[in-house]
Amino acid sequence: MKSSLSLYRHVLRYLRSSSFPFKYLYPKIRHNVREMFEIHRERDEEKTKMLLKWGWQDLAFLKSWKIVEKEIRDDIFRGFSTSKKGKIHDNK
């Protein structure tokens, strides 16, 4: 099984890639990824394997959004946009 560092690098690489459909969510998701790796730092090998398996599944799920039409994605995430300074805010 690949290491947690490998998963972390794959996730960050995907978030920066042109195929990532939620550019306005990049800072938030990047922060969440970092936090999840810190929170779930484990010494138990079995638990680590389980968390890595879930992490790779989550990355696959995130990648699956690229096939969803842009209009549908925009409807799902309506209210979120990027301000001129690049910060995410809610338009409600």
Residue 12 CB burial class (10 angstroms; 0-12, 13-18, ≥19)? middle
Q: What is the residue-level pLDDT of the chain in tens, covering all 92 positions? A: 578 889 999 999 999 998 888 888 888 889 999 998 888 887 888 988 899 999 999 999 988 888 888 788 777 777 665 444 444 444 44
pTM exceeds cut of 0.85: no
Domain ranges of the chain: 4-90
For 80, left (φ over 0), alpha (ψ -120 to 50), or beta?
beta
71, exposed or middle or buried, with CB in 10 Å at 0-12, 13-18, 19+? exposed
The conformation of residue 21, written as its DSSP 8-state character, comes to S
pLDDT the model gives residue 86: 45
